Structure 1
Amino acid sequence: MGPILTLLAQRIALSLLLLLMVSALIFAGTLILPGDVAQSILGQSATPEALANLRAELGLNEPAISRYFSWLSGIFHGDLGTALTSGQDIAASIGSRLSNTLFLAFWAALISVPLAIFLGLLSVRFKDRWPDKLISAVTLTSISIPEFLIGYVLMYLIAVKLGWFSSVAMINDGMSLGQKLNAIALPVMVLTLVVLAHMMRMTRAAILNVMQSAYIETAELKGLSGLDVIRKHAFPNAIAPIVNVVMLNLAYLVVGVVVIEVVFVYPGMGQYLVDHVAKRDVPVVQACGLIFAAVYIGLNMIADIVSILANPRLRHPK
């Protein structure tokens, strides 16, 4: 096996091991939650006999370690369990919710990633001049404001005052693409503002770091314009750190949309998770947590692999 394949196999194995450890933490975390699952299902008026029967039916009397391995075995076979409050199959319920979350994340990424790279290049091109200062000021402001506050401000100004878009981002399968895009316009704006700043500033920092290299000075002495130096020499060699921060923010778009989905009542994974946390539906919380962890770890693994393939020093560490 070549060195590249060995490194890739190591990264994949580490990611799988990390996901296994996270699954144990998720399961343990749900066990220490306050309250009683059986009590939350049957209500406060339930008799002790009814509570005991339901606990036995749900397997809550079994040791935690056996319940964990039973849950893990079901996951390996594609069975995420059954929701306690509704009796529905969790995998079937999550399918449509996950597609909605990915739909929202896709359009936010489609706007924010090219825009962040463009603004980063523009900021480097006009370093320490007014375009650079303006871009930095706007992005620092958007980083400093919590996303839920940005959401409420945009909702008030754009949806309530101007009436351009709906304040509630409800979508369904019967809507056309245009109707769906109109419905998710505000949450996409908020997500774009949130992740744009991080990606733009990392792009700027990575390119400025490369600009101090000797071959950049050689390119400038050849008479290349500032934009050509950045486009042909600096940007390609700054790909690795840029890819890393892009993947981290893409992971946030999928995993960190819980607040945005709640603010705009969007029928995605985040809203589904929050609804069942309130009901203390442990199997749903465990399934959602594991899916979020898998997405986050998977995207970070992809970023790591791209960095290895793009950087000869990582491909040949010796």
Structure 2
Amino acid sequence: MTLVTGRATSGPLWRVVAVMTARRLVAGLLVLFAVSVVVFVATEIAPGDAASASLGPDAGPAAIEARRAELGLDRPAPLRYVEWLGGLFRGDLGVSYASGVPVADIVAARAGNSLLLGGLAAVLLLPLAVVLGAWAGLRAGRLADRAVSKSTLTLMSVPEFVTGTLLAVVFAVQLGWLPAVSFLPPGQSPLDRPEILVLPVITLLTVCLAHNTRVVRAGVAQSAVGEAAESARLNGVVERRVVWRYILPAALPPVVPLFARYVTFLLGGALIAETLFGYPGLASALVVASASRDVPVVQAVGLLAAAVTVLVNLAGDVVGTLLDPLRRVPR
């Protein structure tokens, strides 16, 4: 039996991971239920509704009431919530108030675009953060470390919309290398026009890469002077093996949950990046749906974002636990 952070754990690692996963899944379901309530209540108390938004400001009370009855908005809110929740269990997300298209079709089309954008950013984020962070951490206090630290601090200090705007001005307006707007003709995938992904991906990466690089750098710098690394050096182990065998295994596991949280942010399609470049993802769909009071779309996107957050964070905790036996205690 091993004592870890004041708690004891025993048994094979697979059992510990299974128990932790089961507990997190139960907690995740409770979180999703709470999110469904919050999203539904928020859409209910927001000023205006889909009926008045679709008919315009010149519509009379009778026309608005008729439209509310057509959309089912005249029924009690608790009843509509129960019906919506029941539809979720059947895989029915409802129908868009604005377009009459099934919400599942809207979400499926936009989710694929957001996952592509966020997936590309995540694929670049992890190796770049590890390489830059480890490179700076192994040279703590030297010129390379100071350069990386100042650069990342600068990136963290600049708002995302400012970074995106500057990128558009330089690479789209002045140089003309890349499109300033991620326009996508109907029926096409972003992969058909990969140039529209470049500026949104770089914009998404800036703050995420800067923060994760600094965290990795701190962990590597601490592990590089730790007892395990120093003992290995005293026993004649070559520095390259010290880095791979002792420093990185000690430095990386604690930052895996942080990576997971940023991957969640990236996969969700950052609102600012998608809106700034007009990228056809979930975030931009959420903006349009909110403006038109298209409640079913808002509810579906909000719940999907919460589900992705729960699953990615769970995966990050599982990976961190597998990499670091000292963190095997279910929380």
TM-score higher than 0.5: yes
Which piece of structure 1 moves more, 138-147 or 214-223? Answer: 214-223
Mapped pair 1:64 → 2:59 = no
Match of 1:141 in 2: 154
Match of 1:192 in 2: 205
Which piece of structure 1 moves more, 2-11 or 132-141? Answer: 2-11
Do the aligned partners of residues 313 and 111 (structure 1) sit closer, same or farther apart at CA in structure 2, a change above 3 Å counting? Answer: closer
Match of 1:43 in 2: 56
Match of 2:313 in 1: 300
CA contact (8 A) 1:251 1:295 kept: yes
Which residue of the other structure, out of 33, 36, 42, is the alignment partner of 1:20?
33
Do the aligned partners of residues 176 and 53 (structure 1) sit closer, same or farther apart at CA in structure 2, a change above 3 Å counting? Answer: closer
Secondary structure of the corresponding residue to residue 184 of structure 1: helix
Alpha-carbon distance between aligned partners in 2 of 1:224 and 1:274, rounded to the nearest angstrom: 56
Match of 1:33 in 2: 46
Deviation at 1:316? 5.4
Alpha-carbon distance between aligned partners in 2 of 1:314 and 1:110, rounded to the nearest angstrom: 25
Alpha-carbon distance between aligned partners in 1 of 2:270 and 2:17, rounded to the nearest angstrom: 35
Deviation at 1:299? 0.8
| C-alpha distance after superposition, 1:13-44 (max 9, x if no partner) | 11111111111111111111112332112222
Deviation at 1:171? 3.3
Do the aligned partners of residues 169 and 225 (structure 1) sit closer, same or farther apart at CA in structure 2, a change above 3 Å counting? Answer: farther
Match of 1:261 in 2: 274
Match of 1:284 in 2: 297
CA contact (8 A) 1:240 1:311 kept: yes
Deviation at 1:70? 1.1
Match of 2:326 in 1: 313
1:41 counterpart letter in structure 2: S
Do the aligned partners of residues 164 and 40 (structure 1) sit closer, same or farther apart at CA in structure 2, a change above 3 Å counting? Answer: same
Which residue of the other structure, out of 81, 84, 94, is the alignment partner of 2:94?
81
Secondary structure of the corresponding residue to residue 46 of structure 2: coil
Deviation at 1:53? 2.4
Match of 1:162 in 2: 175
Secondary structure of the corresponding residue to residue 194 of structure 2: helix
CA contact (8 A) 1:121 1:230 kept: no
Secondary structure of the corresponding residue to residue 153 of structure 2: helix
Give the superposed CA RMSD: 2.0
Deviation at 1:136? 0.8
Alpha-carbon distance between aligned partners in 1 of 2:225 and 2:78, rounded to the nearest angstrom: 55
Which residues of 2 match residues 89-104 of structure 1 at below 5 A?
89-104=102-117
Alpha-carbon distance between aligned partners in 2 of 1:161 and 1:43, rounded to the nearest angstrom: 40
1:42 counterpart letter in structure 2: L
Match of 2:7 in 1: none
Secondary structure of the corresponding residue to residue 88 of structure 1: coil
Alpha-carbon distance between aligned partners in 2 of 1:45 and 1:174, rounded to the nearest angstrom: 37
| Count of residue correspondences | 316
Match of 2:119 in 1: 106
Deviation at 1:273? 0.8
CA contact (8 A) 2:113 2:190 kept: no
1:302 counterpart letter in structure 2: A
CA contact (8 A) 1:81 1:89 kept: yes
Alpha-carbon distance between aligned partners in 2 of 1:12 and 1:213, rounded to the nearest angstrom: 36
Deviation at 1:208? 2.9
2:149 counterpart letter in structure 1: S
Alpha-carbon distance between aligned partners in 1 of 2:175 and 2:238, rounded to the nearest angstrom: 44
Which residues of 2 match residues 115-134 of structure 1 at below 5 A?
115-134=128-147
Alpha-carbon distance between aligned partners in 1 of 2:152 and 2:319, rounded to the nearest angstrom: 27
Secondary structure of the corresponding residue to residue 193 of structure 2: helix
Deviation at 1:296? 1.3
Q: Which runs of 5+ in 2 are unaligned?
A: 1-13
Do the aligned partners of residues 228 and 180 (structure 1) sit closer, same or farther apart at CA in structure 2, a change above 3 Å counting? Answer: farther
Deviation at 1:174? 4.1
TM-score normalised by structure 1 residue count: 0.93
Mapped pair 1:273 → 2:256 = no
1:135 counterpart letter in structure 2: V
Alpha-carbon distance between aligned partners in 2 of 1:70 and 1:137, rounded to the nearest angstrom: 53
2:227 counterpart letter in structure 1: A
2:174 counterpart letter in structure 1: K
Alpha-carbon distance between aligned partners in 1 of 2:37 and 2:253, rounded to the nearest angstrom: 32
1:140 counterpart letter in structure 2: L
Do the aligned partners of residues 310 and 74 (structure 1) sit closer, same or farther apart at CA in structure 2, a change above 3 Å counting? Answer: same
Q: Which runs of 5+ in 1 are unaligned?
A: none
TM-score normalised by structure 2 residue count: 0.89
Which residues of 2 match residues 182-261 of structure 1 at below 5 A?
182-255=195-268, 257-261=270-274
